[in-house]
């Protein structure tokens, strides 16, 4: 990745999404990522400034002045992590509509299967500098 960290925008009340953020935090040894909850004021302002209208129920990756969503965002994130997580990137060869159909299926049941929080998670003191909306 370039010198400017990518930003991962995630559903801050989704337990699956929060677990995924924790997973990335533990494996982001190159300090490639910053994080912001989709529900945050920072995110709303950022998207407005960039004239970006996010898809509902999707992770968003902002990297190199480009927005990536759904399965493409997830695979680009995986690509930047250590082995074996980076191997997930091989699925980029699957046509986007097929990948996104699977992504949307999981997104549609994420609250039912994994639950949700009443409010966005608070980062720990040692990771707070990676969150842009705290």
b (16+ CB within 10 A) / e for 106-134: ebeebeeeeeeeeebbebeeeeeebbbbe
H/E element, 131 = none
| Per-residue model confidence (pLDDT) at position 7 | 97
b (16+ CB within 10 A) / e for 65-104: eebbbbbbbbbbbbbbbeeeeeeebeeeeeeeeebbeebb
Q: What is the pTM of this model?
A: 0.88
Which residue positions in the chain have pLDDT lower than 50?
A: none
Residue 116 near residue 13 (C-beta atoms within 8 A): yes
| Per-residue model confidence (pLDDT) at position 18 | 86
| Per-residue model confidence (pLDDT) at position 115 | 78
| Per-residue model confidence (pLDDT) at position 15 | 83
């Amino acid at each position: 990745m370039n010198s400017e960290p990518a930003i991962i925008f995630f559903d801050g009340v989704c337990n699956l999404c929060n677990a995924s953020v924790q997973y990335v935090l533990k494996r982001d040894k190159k300090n490639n990522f910053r994080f912001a909850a989709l529900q945050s004021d920072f995110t709303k302002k950022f998207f407005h400034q960039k004239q970006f209208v996010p898809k509902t129920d999707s992770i968003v990756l902002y990297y190199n002045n480009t927005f990536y969503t759904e399965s493409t965002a997830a695979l680009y994130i995986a690509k930047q992590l250590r082995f074996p997580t980076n191997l997930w990137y091989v699925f980029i060869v699957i046509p986007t509509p097929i990948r996104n159909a699977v992504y949307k299926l999981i997104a549609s049941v994420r609250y039912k299967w994994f639950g949700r929080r009443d409010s966005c998670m608070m980062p720990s003191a040692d990771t707070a500098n990676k969150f842009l909306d705290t």
